[in-house]
Amino acid sequence: MKKLIRKYSSGDREAVRRICWLTGYGGNSAAPFFDDPALFADLWCSYYTDREPQSLFVAEVEGKVVGYLLGCLDTERYNRIFARRMIPSILIKAITGRYRIRRKTLRYFHAQLGQMFRREFKTPPLKRYPAHLHINIAEGYRRGGLGRGLMESYFAYLRECGVRGLHLGTSSLHTSALPFYEKLGFRVYAAVDSVFLGKPVTNICYVKEL
């Protein structure tokens, strides 16, 4: 089976968005909890694919994109652009009816906002850990070394860019991912117990020095 880790190109955008939807809730599909794949992908992918594509990597098997790593060199820049550019664009699309927003989506947003207001997401010092990432592999292609290949490619890229620290956010829903991160040298910076969509969950922030 031919496997390849490579830099992202614009032709990978739809594959990345599709995988995001199919893996967006604890490694499983977001469909039971969210109404519109386009809105979900805009929230979780569009900054990376549209604003910082040079920091992205994809995994291919037999020429098919089956996984991705969405990277960002500067989280403070991400926060500014997301707040000033991405959210207004998403809101305009929502108001003009370009998304399908039903009860599932409203419940999802209510749960997310509740966690934010209760400060259940912890961010490490961004001067020390400025970069961050999101990584997902489609079901059926996990545990074959693609995740490690994506991570190691990203680490090398960060070192080339002079970045010496990174972080990622995840939760206890991603049961198979947590040992994977720790084997790669990530350590827990903060862990906060919560309830999300009726399920007990622990929100975890990992950090790593390069």
Mean pLDDT of the chain: 94
Residues 6+ apart with CB under 8 A from 23: 29, 136, 137, 138, 139
Q: Which residues pair with 28 in a beta bridge?
A: 25
Give pLDDT, residue 160.
Answer: 98
Q: How confident is the model at residue 125 (pLDDT cuts 50, 70, 90)?
A: very high
> CA 173, 177, 181, 183: dihedral to nearest 10 degrees?
130
Q: How confident is the model at residue 130 (pLDDT cuts 50, 70, 90)?
A: very high
Give pLDDT, residue 199.
Answer: 83
Quick check: 210 pLDDT over 90?
yes
In the chain, the N- to C-terminal Cα span, in Å, equals 31
Give pLDDT, residue 118.
Answer: 72
Question: 112 or 155, which is more confident?
Answer: 155
User: Mean pLDDT throughout 38-52?
Assistant: 97
Residues 6+ apart with CB under 8 A from 192: 120, 121, 122, 202, 203
For the record, the structure tokens of 44 come out as 């979780």
Quick check: 91 pLDDT over 90?
yes
User: Mean pLDDT throughout 43-60?
Assistant: 98
Give pLDDT, residue 25.
Answer: 87
Give pLDDT, residue 111.
Answer: 82
What the chain holds in terms of domains, given with CATH numbers, is 3-164 (3.40.630.30)
**How far is 55 from 119, CA to CA, in rounded Å?**
28
